[in-house]
Structure 1
């Protein structure tokens, strides 16, 4: 049986997932669509190596399955990789619905005439491909602009001698991490909530997690 999946992503822990998730839930409710599962990541859109995205990709592989995202850049910001992922789902017969691209939401299966259905679907597929290419180009350009600004900002801080003070993340006390991570193990705190609570980046969080698991094995 075909299933409907929602996906949303933000780049940092400071950005809230609520807005995009609400947009997807509202759309499904308004159009009587049963949303089977919602996936979300708080991670960069430069690549697709994200835990929830990969989990969704493993599940959304059957013809007739549907993936709903609020905006294309919530799926990814790297143009070539994003287009490659979309093509992957097309090849499987999985439909991608993007709320900011209304033409991707139109369903022609209700047309009675198969010839008209095929013609309309082919025309709209062409339009969608053009729009997706355009939106992906914009998202990629925005990513490059942000990276350029970040590099320039870091260089300016180094010139002013402020990089050591502001640029390097502070180390978290290991015992403090262990105390917070136990809540994650017990299921009362989600990993991204733990990261936010401790002010940790994702790489730091998993580095401390690895250290914690190694310390348990030594006991």
Structure 2
């Protein structure tokens, strides 16, 4: 897989999947901007590890749900040149059955995953258009496809990314810009945590195991490559056959 080195922003880049994506993009030769919300030191650690491995990276922190903060941060980043790749990976869980879900649980999950996608992606579109090249990848979840008890807010936020991405792909394809979704299933790491034991994973996943962050990152990296230019408006599951 060949691709031209570019600047790549990975939101939620300090988590398990986000850091794997950051490393995968750095391995393609991109300069990676590793984003965190409040824990800048975690993003700094990921960026430092990339640099230690011979890659190029920096860290940045802002709340993707706060439009004004995002706009100010991106304005500063764009002063150094266009950002050709954006991976909207930031997302949070705040699980509860809908009958017992409070307003804050609903709104914060929607704010981070859906409004964050809008706040981060919109300012990058015109600079991408001027370059006649861009890659937008949003990380969703199998919950957006199948649903999941206790995650009405999370499934709603992630499923909304599917429709938004398909529409955005139609708007931007003529300018050499693709927009796609990667929807992981059960993936090893802190987000999976201790929610499922080995027997539960085997029962839920036809492959009989949880995926790895690297397996998700490999698909994202392909979608961000020059070779994937004709893949557009797609929702690609990385879920071991769950659906």
Q: TM-score, length-normalised on structure 2?
A: 0.32
Q: TM-score, length-normalised on structure 1?
A: 0.35
Where relative contact order (Cα < 8 A, 6+ residues apart) is larger, the structure is 2
Q: Which protein has the bigger helix share?
A: 1
Structure number with greater Rg is 1
